[in-house]
Every structure is written in C-alpha cells, then in structure tokens.
Amino acid sequence: MVKSMAGRHMPSRPRQTGAGLARCAASLALAGSLSACATFGGKSAETASTGATIAAASLEGMPSNLASKANSVLETYNTPPASILEARRRAERAASTVEEYLASEGYFAATAVPQRIDSATGTPKIDISLGEQFRIASVTVKYDGEPDADTQAGLDKAKRALLIGGPAFTSSIELLNTTLVNRLKEAGYAFATSDDIDVLASRADATVEVTYMLTPGPRVKLGELVLPDDTSIRPSAVRVMQSWQPGDYYTPEKIRTLRTRLRSSGLYDGIGIEIEEKPAEDGNNPVQLLLSESKQRSIGAGASVSTTEGAGVDAYWERRNITGRGDTLRVEGSVANLSRTLKTTYELPNIGRYGRTLEAEVGARQLETDAYDLTGLKTGATLSQPFNKNFTVSAGAYVDVTRTVEYELTRSGPSDPLDQVTFSTPLSGTYNTVKNTLDPQDGNRLFLTLEPSISTGTANATYTRYLTNATTYHSFTDKLIAAARVEAGGFMGDTDVPADRLFFAGGGGTVRGYAYQSLSPQNLDGDYVGGEALFDASFELRWRKSKRWGYVAFVDTGAASSDFGAVFGDLRSAFGLGLRYYPGFGPIRLDLATPINPRDGDDPVQVYISIGQAF
C-alpha cells in the first residue's frame, strides 16, 4: 500500500495539482488501480450499457506517443451535457484524469487545464503542458526488523531492476515493491509486508527518490498440518500430501504444491491454508487446513459419432473415499457400433508416500471390426510412482483371456476361434507438463511403454510390444495454439498374438480422413490383418475465435505395416478443418477430413464428432 508521496519544491496549482496530484497519481498507479483518485480508465455508468461515442474533451498539446493511451482513459458519454455547468464538470474530471495518467508515466509536473467553456455544445478542449519526465535518483530499502544476510543481499540485487536515471514509471516502482515482498516470502518470511513506498519528487531536478519500507517478520519454519475435526478422511491420508518436512523454511511454492495436491485428490470443494503466527514448542509454525469435502459420488456420460467408427455412448459412476484413505471405485461402460466395454477400477493413492498409487481393474470387452471379432476378459493391477511433478513410472501385471475370430481365416469357410490367455507385465514412463487435458494450451507429454507378454492357448507366443507417443502444445497468443503428435509402436518376438495387440491405422485415433483400420496390412483377399509396426503423426493449428467458438486446421499422416522398413513407404496423409464449441467443461469438436493422396475406394470426406480435442 502506498502511504505517502511528498512533493518537494512543487508549488500547488489551482486544482488538485502539485504535491496533491503527485501523491494521488502515484498512489493510484502504485496501488495498481487506475480508478483510485478519479475515473481513470473507466467509463461512465450510462456509457457502460449503451456504448457512448461522445468524448469528454479533446487534448491540445499532447505528444503523439502518449495521445492514444491518454484518450483511452477518458470517460465517454452517450448524451451531450445538459448545461454549461455539466460540460465544465466533465472537462474538469477529464483534466484530472489526464494529469493522473501523465503522472503515472513519470510527468509529475504536467498540467491539464480546460479552456474556457461558454456553451454546452461542442467538445471542450484541454491544454496540456507536459514538463520534464521525472527520473529515478535513488532507490532505498528500509526494514522494520532485519532479514538474514543472504536474503538482504538478494534484495539489494533485486532493487537494481529499478534503474537509476531511468524514467519514474509508477508501474515499475510498484512492480519492484511486489518483487521485494515476494523475495522475502521465498526466503521463508511468510508474513512479510510492505508498509510504505515513499516517493520524494524534486521539481528542480526532475527526479524522484524512492524508499521502500518493508517488515520481514519472523523467518518461518513449517510444522505439522492441523486438520479439521469433522473430516471423514483419515488424518494419515491427508498428511501424506504435505509438501515439506517439519522444520523446513516456508516458501510459497510449498504451500502451492500442497494446495495442488489437495485439489487433485478430488476430495475437496473448498481448500484454505493458514500458517499460524505463533510457533509451537518445537519452534515450527503449524499449518491449519480449512477443508470443505466434495460429494463422494459422481456420474458422467459422453458420446461420439464418426463416419468411420460409427456412433457410441459412454458413462461412468464413481464413489470416492470408500475406506477413508482417499480411494476411488469407478464403474464405466461404453456401447458403440464397433465395441462394447464394461470395466471396474479401484484406485488407492499415496501408499506410504505421496503419489505412489495402486490401480486394480477387471473388465470385459467385445470388438467387431473389419479385421476381427474379439471377446475378452481382463484383470490386473498397476503400481505407479512419480519421481517429480512431471515424471512418473509404473509397473503392472495383467491376465487377459480372449476369443478371436479373424476374417482372413473365415473367408475360406468355417473356422475355429482362437482362444488365448495372455500374461503381461507392462512397464511405462510418462513425462507430462500439460495442465488441461481436455483442452491443452502449453506443455509437452511423452509416454513410453514396454509390455513383455506370454500368450498360450490355440497359438503360443512370447513377445514384447512397445509403444511411444509424444505430443507438444505451444500457444503463440491466448487465441492461437499449435499442437503436434507423433506415435510409433512395434513388436519384438513372436507375432501369433491376440488380434487387438497388433497395430491398425486409419480413423479418428490415428489418421482422420481414412476409414477405420483401412491403413493396415491386408492379405491377398483384401482382409485387414494388423501390422507389427505403427507410425502416425498429426499437426493442428487451433484458433479460439471467442469464448464459445474455435476453429482448427489439421494434417494427419500414418500407416501400420509388417515392419518399420515398410511403414514409412505406406504412409497416407489427410487434411481437415474442424469446429470447436466450448460449453465450459471442454470443447465439443466437429472435424471434417479428406485424403490428400486417396486410393481407389477411399471416401472423399470423413466426419468426426466427439468431446475434447483430438489429442
């Protein structure tokens, strides 16, 4: 908070000028609110609803480099003044606002004086006398209680950001004030405050001397979490999310990390974190949690439709905190033209340490594609562990019982189904800096999995299936985003495996614009048989036109083949345009894609509708 700005050698002017104006203008800008002293940067009440076009005044003598912003901060009106008195009042307010704006740009001695007004018609004129732009003469930091030497050295270095001899922009002065307080907090001074910014201006020298008054307070060591009495979650399940060891110095990042962990657990609607000012007997400051628990049950549903995969709907039911340990039971199912699935998942988080999560599942599926029909029952579990906030590794063990009918075998007559039991131990690593999964804006995501497996039954196979996927997102502006994705997979070992473990390309998940699985290997009869290698890539340019609507242009390419030597020779590409509607929870997308190098029989256009971005 700016407490004072004394004007030195600055005589008063007829209106709110001199020291008074400088004090008001500096306070106005330094407090970060350009409406503290007048209607600086605002619009009149009548203007807000009707979109006025009548200017309060025209500015005479305003330099061109300042004129645009100066005019933008003036009020506008949708009706002319009703009287000469009202016209004069409007001009007075405009002159005061302009002086405040000029002071925020370092022109503390500037004046804005309305010309004589004898009529309510016409636009009043204001004469501008700019004067010199004031410069920084000195920067001093004073403390009510000294911080430690290392912290003080860091603050001395930080204050150099306000250049001696540089323009006295009040925004820069306030920015340094914020920086100094933040540096104190980052060094452990949790209760650090800025008591005053004292700006002494000399009209004779056109300079200002800036003095910051800081109160560091005690250097805080964080203690144990203090939990609400009425929580249904076990204290140990909450304390495991603590992001510090008792005795660690406070930093804002530690508190932000705790808040993020609590929010991502899905257990709370409201989260408050307060550090007690009085240390406990061990010298550490307890941290009080104020928590509002969320509803323990939720349901959801979704739908998709495309000209390649047909239509489908999916739904889920979820129950959280079943045993008081933040665990989750989820039942989800889907029904579509090509598949039916039903799966139950149980997740137990933070086993022994934060982030270590056990996920067990049992599920049934039925697939009907142009390449094969498959019925399967799968069960298993995965244990995952993050090494930091971006990198996670996991290991699992699964049993998958499948019955497959492959069309390449049935074309020549009745064929017995292929019954197999597959034992697999997938190992995976994920690096992820993407925050919004439904509508990514920035960040990178890299996923790699190795799945050693043994299949027994009608056919026996020992193999390792591997798959890697990399995506990146970059926002050029808040409305324009580029997104790219590359995926590759292959086999090592035998290939007499269940059909859904082979690779297929074409359709919404790989290359839009081509029919589902149509970029996959075929036998002599034209049946899709699946490949042992996969490569596909996509690039999208996403433009958010408004709050509700956006547009996308994209190119996809890819193929599945018998090996990597052949897959790049089989690549097919498609181009498309998309429409995005943003209802508030993530985009609903409509994509139209057409093959760039079509083959005989390829449809000219494919259509896809779903929830969320394509990747």
Q: How is the chain split into domains, by residue range?
A: 7-129, 135-215, 222-293, 333-611
By C-alpha distance, which of 377, 312, 381, 387 is closest to 353? 387
How far is it, in rounded angstroms, from Cα 393 to Cα 399? 21
Q: Show the tokens assigned to 313.
A: 């709907």
For residue 410, which phi and psi values (nearest 5 degrees)? -85, -15
* pTM (2 d.p.): 0.75
CATH architecture group of domain 333-611: Beta Barrel (2.40)
Q: Which fold has domain 135-215?
A: Ubiquitin-like (UB roll) (3.10.20)
Query: Cβ neighbours of residue 493 under 8 Å, at least 6 residues apart?
Result: 461, 462, 463, 464
**Which stretch of 8-12, 130-134, 219-223, 565-569 has the lowest confidence by average pLDDT?**
8-12
**Residue 242 pLDDT:** 94
In angstroms, the first-to-last Cα distance of the chain is 46
339-359 pLDDT, tens digit per residue, is: 999 999 999 999 999 999 999
Residue 94 zone, left/alpha/beta (φ > 0; ψ -120 to 50; rest): alpha
pLDDT higher than 70, residue 158: yes
353-395 pLDDT, tens digit per residue, is: 999 999 999 999 999 888 889 999 999 999 999 998 899 999 9
Average pLDDT of the segment spanning 255-282: 93
How far is it, in rounded angstroms, from Cα 161 to Cα 174? 12
Q: Which fold has domain 222-293?
A: Ubiquitin-like (UB roll) (3.10.20)
- Residues 23, 189, 163, 136, Cα dihedral to 10°: 20
* Beta-bridge mates of residue 142: 213
The answer to whether the beta carbons of residues 227 and 253 sit under 8 Å apart is no
How far is it, in rounded angstroms, from Cα 261 to Cα 326? 12
pLDDT higher than 60, residue 564: yes
Q: Do domains 135-215 and 333-611 have the same CATH topology?
A: no
CA 115 remoteness from chain centre: 51
By C-alpha distance, which of 533, 598, 523, 594 is closest to 564? 533
How far is it, in rounded angstroms, from Cα 171 to Cα 182? 16
How does residue 262 score in pLDDT terms, banded at 50, 70 and 90?
A: very high
How does residue 74 score in pLDDT terms, banded at 50, 70 and 90?
A: confident
Average pLDDT of the segment spanning 296-325: 91
